[in-house]
């Protein structure tokens, strides 16, 4: 992903928690800015990343105005970045959560399609935002950064994990438009084959546990904001 992103002219900022220092050195050699992870856990490490982005913008006043957050395993998403951020560039939205096309959905493992569609429905019911939040990537204008940087789900009793699920709702509540664009991404066939070839029961159980934790968080969040 890093190599593709830099080749396409993107600035790449990484918070690295890997135990192997050679990984950090490799990312640096590609031209990425890499910072050691000092805060463990999904939520804390993501806030740490957003803080490094904030500091980068303080040091570089001509820094890009749009931030694209991506999960590292989805390197095939890099070519779709221009399409994802287009509504922000046109001034039609402050935050964009892309949506998978029907064909894109069909490329995912069956158990993953089922759990993520259920989670998306729960998210919509709890928050009022009709987006494919479980797809993963989120793009936003830099003036939306505080919503992500300051988001701590423990403040409303939820697990401190996927803060990019909650930040758009805070922004939307303050009348900042959250939009969606449909992209025809394909789940890597090799990854699908590997996941469907392992102990499927154990994988489904882990997915269901994740789903239960997140849905519980969505409704705690909704009650916290007085949405439900």
Q: Predicted confidence band at 32 (pLDDT cuts at 50, 70, 90)?
A: very high
Residues in Cβ contact with 100 at an 8 Å cutoff, skipping those fewer than 6 apart: 132, 135, 182, 183, 185
Closest CA to 140 of 89, 182, 205, 100: 89
What's the whole-model pTM score?
0.92
Mean pLDDT in residue range 145-156: 96
Q: From residue 41, give the alpha-carbon distance in Å to each of 38, 44, 60, 82, 182.
A: 10, 6, 28, 30, 30
Taking only the tens place, the pLDDT of each residue in 66-102 is 999 998 777 789 999 999 999 999 999 999 999 999 9
Where in the chain are the domains? 68-225
Cβ burial of 82 (10 Å; 0-12, 13-18, 19+) is exposed
The count of other CB atoms within 10 Å of the CB of residue 113 is: 15
* The two three-digit tokens of residue 101, written as one number: 């096309």
**What pLDDT is recorded for position 218?**
94
Q: Predicted confidence band at 106 (pLDDT cuts at 50, 70, 90)?
A: very high
Q: Considering only 46-50, 165-169, 189-193, which range has the smallest mean pLDDT?
A: 189-193
Closest CA to 225 of 113, 131, 129: 129
Residues 146, 106: Cα–Cα separation, whole Å? 35
Residue 61: in which H helix or E strand, if any?
Answer: none
Residue 67: in which H helix or E strand, if any?
Answer: strand 66-69
């Amino acid at each position: 992903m890093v190599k593709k992103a830099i080749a396409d002219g993107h600035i790449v900022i990484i918070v690295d928690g890997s135990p192997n220092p050679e990984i950090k050195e490799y990312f640096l050699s590609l031209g990425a800015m890499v910072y050691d992870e000092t805060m463990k856990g999904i939520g804390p490490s993501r806030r740490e990343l957003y803080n490094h982005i904030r500091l980068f913008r303080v040091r570089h006043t001509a820094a890009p105005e749009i931030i694209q957050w991506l999960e590292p395993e989805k390197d095939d998403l890099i070519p779709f970045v221009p399409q994802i951020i287009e509504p922000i560039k046109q001034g039609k939205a402050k935050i964009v959560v892309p949506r998978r096309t029907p064909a894109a959905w069909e490329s995912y493992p069956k158990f993953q399609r089922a759990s993520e569609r259920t989670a998306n429905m729960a998210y919509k019911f709890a928050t009022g935002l009709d987006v494919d939040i479980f797809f993963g990537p989120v793009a936003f204008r830099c003036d939306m950064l505080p919503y992500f940087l300051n988001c701590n789900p423990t403040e409303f009793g939820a697990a401190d994990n996927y803060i990019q699920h909650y930040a758009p709702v805070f922004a939307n509540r303050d009348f900042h438009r959250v939009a969606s664009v449909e992209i025809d991404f394909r789940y890597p066939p090799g990854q699908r084959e590997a996941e469907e070839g392992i102990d499927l029961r154990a994988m489904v159980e882990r997915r269901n546990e994740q789903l239960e934790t997140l849905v519980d968080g969505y409704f705690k969040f909704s009650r916290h904001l007085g949405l439900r």
